[in-house]
Amino acid sequence: MSSSFFRLLPSVVATLGVATVCVACKPALSPSPITPATAEPEPQSAVQQPAPDLVSLEAALANRYVTPDVSTEVLARLTVRSEAIADRPRPPANISLVIDTSASMRGEAIEHAREAAKALVQDLEKGDRVSVVAFHSRGDVLVASVELDDENRRQVLDALEGLEATGTTALAEGLALGMQQLQVDRRSDVVSRMVLLSDGVPNDQARARQVGATLAASSISLTALGLGLEFDEVLLAELASRCGGRFHYVEDAQQVAKMFQEEILDIEQLVAQGAVLELRAGPGVSILEVVGRSQAQAGVQTASVPVGDLVENDAREVVIRLAVDAHRDGASIELLDASLRYSDATAGAGTLQDSVFVAAEATADEAERRAGRDRETELVAVRALTASAALQAVAFARSGDVKRAKALVETSEKRARTLAKSEQDAGLKALADDLVKIRGTLSSLAPKRVSSANRGPAVGSRPHKKSKRGMPSPASAPQLGLAEAQGMRGAHGRAFEALH
């Protein structure tokens, strides 16, 4: 996050002058199907499904006005909402379970993973598809994609007894095989989802990221569950975010079954699949950051943000930092066009979209700028910035940049506590408290550098596994105490959930 933003924080909170903006009205239209220009027109006799108006896109700004004649930053908030719909059958499911069966899963972990997978298979309905991939030193398809009926459900349950813990952690191979299995019979009217469970650091992080990018490009939703104290939380959270999915820290292996059951509940309540926000900045405006989500570099004109699947009565907040050039007093500023694209999961209406346009106004009137403040949007934005700081700090520390991580935590915690106190906001205070838990672990998260005197391993010892930076993997960092590790993992997981 740029240092210029933090220099503006006193005006954000104290003088309420964070990028003052107004939101233009969006078209008063129901979502409409997107039809390719080259598509053949349907016969007049074809039965058209009505487009359900169940998902909406709204926009707001931390302030409706900006100070004239100076460049500034604007905080914009996009809210994706979904409504409930009663008395409808749930769509068919296509689930791929990708389970870590490396040696670190021995004992209760593999036992609970086995029982949780069996419970999920029992909860799936006749006609759903399921596949099971195990990964250890390689990836194995334990259960090839199969449409469930009474006979083969028992065969799948019997096959799950073969889950055994051994070997290393070939996560990339597991993800690739899981993706292959989901593609066997993937259809627009079926909910395809990968559920990943891992408790370790993968053999090849770069390869895992490459497969994750392919998953995202294929619009496959990924739920990543990190089990225990040794998994790579940065990687799992990144994979889930890129795929518009979810990431959870599973502190106790007994919770795995509950997490698997939540996947089935989500499918029962699904309203929209694969929602994506497309952002385009206006003239003289650039996108600095889609807080906690964007993979793009700062200063871009466009960004694509995966939002993922939406269940009934869902709400997703996306906060965007915009850089705005100087404008004269009284000027109207075209800030942002935002479009939401998603697949209907309720009435077979295909791909739908909704859009909003966001604008601001420059004013030299300080009183007017103060009156333009939207306190709720400011709170939502600072909550997002605080949660994002937690994720970034862990990532910085894991890469060896502890100094940067600590500076980010210090600045973010101060900002969060100031606003939480003035607004009496318990949620923001809790995020600030989580930053404290993370701050105490940052030095221990950093990988050890290999000194020149110890470049060669001792006879009979195992050499360090190197990263691209020439440092060992995160698993070789100084070990945290149990309470510290659990506190950091929990804080990291809650930060991800706050953003997604």
Query: Could you give the CA distance from residue 116 to residue 166 in angstroms, rounded to a whole number?
Result: 19
Q: Which of 268, 301, 316 is the last residue of a domain?
A: 268
Q: Among 189-203, 351-365, 367-381, where is mean pLDDT lowest?
A: 189-203
Strand 221-227 with 191-198, pairing = parallel
Looking at residue 296, its pLDDT comes to 59
142 & 254 share domain: yes
Domains of the chain: total: 3
Span 476-481, average pLDDT: 58
One domain for residues 342 and 403: no
The reported pLDDT for the residue numbered 187 is 84
Is the domain of 358 the same as that of 383?
A: no
In a domain, 41, yes or no: no
Contact 108, 362 (CB under 8 A): no
Residue 165 neighbours by CB distance under 10 Å:
19
**pLDDT for the residue numbered 410:** 97
Q: CA–CA separation, 243 vs 359, rounded Å?
A: 30
Average pLDDT over residues 349-374: 96
CA torsion sign for 433, 411, 234, 469 is negative
CA distance 45 to 65: 52
What percentage of residues in the chain have a pLDDT greater than 70? 83
- Average pLDDT value for residue range 128-151: 95
Do 110 and 76 belong to one domain?
no
Tell me the pLDDT of the chain averaged across its residues. 85
3-state secondary structure 47-91: CCCCCCCCEEEEEEECECEECCCCCEEEEEEEEEEECCCCCCCCC
pLDDT tens digits, 239-291:
999 998 999 999 888 899 999 988 888 888 899 999 999 999 999 999 999 99
What share of the chain has pLDDT > 90, as a percent? 70
Q: Of 220, 253, 268, which residue constitutes the final position of a domain?
A: 268
Look at 12 and 319; give whichever has higher pLDDT: 319
User: Does 219 share its domain with 336?
Assistant: no
CB atoms within 10 A of CB 321: 23
- Of 268, 295, 313, at which residue does a domain stop? 268
Q: Would 222 be classed as within a structural domain?
A: yes
Q: Are 462 and 168 in contact (CB under 8 A)?
A: no
- How confident is the model at residue 50, as a pLDDT? 59
Same domain membership, residue 411 and residue 310: no
Q: Is residue 349 part of a domain?
A: yes
What confidence category does residue 143 fall into, taking pLDDT thresholds of 50, 70 and 90? very high
The two structure tokens encoding residue 443: 């030095």
CB 479 within 8 A of CB 445: no
Q: Tell me the average pLDDT across 44-72.
A: 82
Residues 281 and 403 in one domain: no
- Name the residue with higher pLDDT: 218 or 367: 367
Banded pLDDT at 49 (limits 50, 70, 90): low
Residue 192 pLDDT exceeds 70:
yes
Residue 1 lies in a domain: no
Q: What is the pLDDT of residue 295?
A: 61
DSSP state of 454: G
Say what angle helices 375-398 and 402-423 make with each other, to 10 degrees: 160
Position 477 pLDDT exceeds 50: no
**pLDDT tens digits, residue range 413-469?**
999 999 999 999 999 999 999 999 999 999 999 887 655 444 444 434 444 444 444
The pLDDT, as a whole number, for residue 33 is 39
CA distance 471 to 465: 8
Q: Across residues 352-361, what is the average pLDDT? A: 97
pLDDT at 252: 87
Q: What is the CATH number of the domain that holds 131?
A: 3.40.50.410
Residue 455: inside a domain, yes or no? Answer: no
Question: Within a domain: residue 44?
Answer: no
Confidence of residue 186 (pLDDT cuts 50, 70, 90): confident
User: Is position 31 within any domain?
Assistant: no
Compute the distance between CA of residue 474 and CA of residue 476 in angstroms, rounded to an integer: 5
**47, pLDDT greater than 90:** no
Q: pLDDT at position 347, please?
A: 84
- CATH (domain of 307): 2.60.40.3670
What residues does 361 pair with on adjacent strands? 65, 332
Does residue 229 sit in the same domain as residue 277?
Answer: no
Q: Which residues, other chains included, contact 208 with Cβ-Cβ below 8 Å and sequence gap of 6+?
A: 171, 172, 175, 202, 235, 239
Question: From CA 113, how far away is CA 133, in angstroms rounded?
Answer: 12
| Domain, as residue range, for 73 | 19-25+53-81+270-369
Confirm whether 460 is domain-assigned: no
pTM of the model: 0.82
E strand map for 123-239: 129-135, 139-147, 191-198, 221-227
pLDDT at 482: 84
- Kindly report, residue by residue over 85-107, the tens digit of the pLDDT: 877 788 899 999 999 999 999 99
Asked if pLDDT for residue 25 goes beyond 50, the answer is no
Contact predicate 67/20, CB 8 Å: yes
Of 268, 341, 337, 311, give the one whose Cα is nearest residue 81.
Answer: 311
- In a shared domain, residues 259 and 145: yes
Grouping H, G, I as helix, E, B as strand and the rest as coil, residue 142 is strand
| Residue 218 near residue 179 (C-beta atoms within 8 A) | yes
Q: What is the structure's pLDDT at 3? A: 43
List all residues 6 or more positions away from 229 whose beta carbon is below 8 Å from its beta carbon.
480, 482, 485, 486, 489
Are residues 125 and 108 located together in one domain of the fold? Answer: yes
Do 101 and 115 lie in one domain? The reply is yes
More confident position, 53 or 37: 53
Q: Are residues 259 and 274 in the same domain?
A: no
